[in-house]
Copies of this chain bind each other. A is one copy, B any other.
Amino acid sequence: MPAMRDPFQLGEDRFLAWLASRFRARGGSAFSLGIGDDAAVLAGRPARVVTVDQMLEGRHFRFRWIVPRALGRRAVERALSDIAAMGARPEGVLLALSWPRGGEWGRKARALFEGLGGALDRRGVPLVGGDTTRARVGHAALAVVAVGRPWPGGPVLRSGGRPGDLLAVTGPLGAAAAGHLLCSGRLAPPGDRAGRRAAGAALRAFREPTARLELARPLARHARALIDLSDGLGLDLPRLAAASGCGFEVEAERIPVAPAARRLLGERRAFRAAIAGGEDYELLAAIPPDRLPAAERAVARAGGALHVVGRLTAPGGGGRLVRRGAFAPWPAGGWDPFRPPLDAGRPGRVDRAGRRRSGRR
């Protein structure tokens, strides 16, 4: 165990590395994988994946920004996204809920369960257990546990990538970050019609994300490594690369920036939102080049698309952003769309969605 006085001063990734070394899975454990993937993997027939995701009022959400119905849906989709990121399908969800009582809270609880139930029904996933407690007023908290079963070829870990594998994302990025800025009042809603339409799309992307569950099956078959982009490409791509023991290279021009983010933030900030924004719940896959055509066809059949943005490189190369032929270090770290242009490697201070941001401190 490394010397540690305050585990939270380490940054999330180093903290998780410390946790993983402290709590190494033992030989003979039914869990074949330690800490550090989107979900834990449980041996058995079939194998299972298990994940837990906590959302706290004032930290991950505010009712000024999101209505309870959308919160219920969002809590489900966040957890299911971790299941999709393992190349698995969800089989059941448990909910630990701490909720204030009295006043408006009863109505809010009903709306929360409507959103949650609607999302589960749409996915065909049962709620199978949990725990409810009364919270102090003003401090609602949810923890959603999702259990799933890998598709053939899965579970797909973060660690399976090899140098030369192509890196592909499953959809446009940055809209959720723009939606978050609108919600929090840091971005004024535009007055024109196209702007209002873009604002609507961005708010939906932030408040009502949809896990890419339908792509888990084709990606379990064709991808060697998989991660969801809930923390943003800026953080999640280095995680996949590090777990796979690779460097990586991304071509700036190939990153699919969401049109709504472009419209609301302008080209430069939208690009930054696409890298550092997070909350888009798209998937990032590492796919061997010779598998790409088959992967693209299978993903298209499932109603999705793959956007190749770069590739994994040899170990030791670190991460690089290629822009108009020039190389720059990977702009890892948090999200602040109003700071100066990409300052390679320096993390932002603003923690958009409550996830602890890593980077140099």
A interface residue numbers (CB < 8 A to B): 4-9, 12, 15-16, 19, 22-26, 29-31, 33-37, 39-40, 42, 44-46, 48, 50-54, 56, 58-60, 91-92, 94-99, 101, 105-107, 109-110, 113, 117, 120, 124, 126-136, 139, 141, 143, 145, 147, 149, 351, 354-356
Q: Which residue of B lies closest to A95 (CB)?
A: B52
Contacting residues, chain B, for A26 (C-beta < 8 A): 124, 126
Contact of A42 with B147 at beta-carbon distance under 8 Å, contacts A35-B129, A109-B8 already known:
yes
Q: How far is the CB of A348 from chain B (nearest CB, A)?
A: 14
Contact of A40 with B94 at beta-carbon distance under 8 Å, contacts A7-B109, A139-B139 already known:
yes
**Residue in contact with A145 in the complex, picked from B44, B50, B58, B106, CB distance below 8 Å:** B50
**Residue in contact with A35 in the complex, picked from B15, B96, B128, B143, CB distance below 8 Å:** B128
CA distance A196 to B144 in the complex (A): 42
Contact of A136 with B31 at beta-carbon distance under 8 Å, contacts A39-B129, A143-B52 already known:
no
Where chain A touches its partner, the secondary structure class is mixed
Contacting residues, chain B, for A60 (C-beta < 8 A): 133
Contacting residues, chain B, for A31 (C-beta < 8 A): 91-92, 126, 128, 147
Contacting residues, chain B, for A29 (C-beta < 8 A): 91-92, 126, 128
Contact A91 B30 (CB under 8 A): yes
CA distance A42 to B35 in the complex (A): 22
Contacting residues, chain B, for A355 (C-beta < 8 A): 133
**Residue in contact with A132 in the complex, picked from B33, B139, B356, CB distance below 8 Å:** B356
**Residue in contact with A48 in the complex, picked from B35, B48, B59, B105, CB distance below 8 Å:** B48
Contact A128 B98 (CB under 8 A): no
Contact B42 A126 (CB under 8 A): no
**Residue in contact with A143 in the complex, picked from B107, B143, B149, CB distance below 8 Å:** B143
User: What are the 5 A-B residue pairs with the smallest beta carbon separation, nearest first?
Assistant: A6-B106, A143-B143, A23-B127, A40-B129, A54-B96
**Residue in contact with A135 in the complex, picked from B56, B120, B127, CB distance below 8 Å:** B56
Contact B34 A126 (CB under 8 A): yes
Q: Which residue of B lies closest to A12 (CB)?
A: B132
Contact of A7 with B113 at beta-carbon distance under 8 Å, contacts A52-B131, A91-B31, A133-B356 already known:
yes
Q: Which residue of B lies closest to A29 (CB)?
A: B126
Contacting residues, chain B, for A24 (C-beta < 8 A): 126
Contacting residues, chain B, for A110 (C-beta < 8 A): 4-7
Contact B23 A117 (CB under 8 A): yes
CA distance A59 to B133 in the complex (A): 9
Contact of A6 with B53 at beta-carbon distance under 8 Å, contacts A37-B129, A59-B134, A60-B133 already known:
no
Q: Which residue of B lies closest to A60 (CB)?
A: B133
Contact A101 B8 (CB under 8 A): yes
Most buried by B among A26, A105, A129: A129
Q: How far is the CB of A109 from chain B (nearest CB, A)?
A: 5
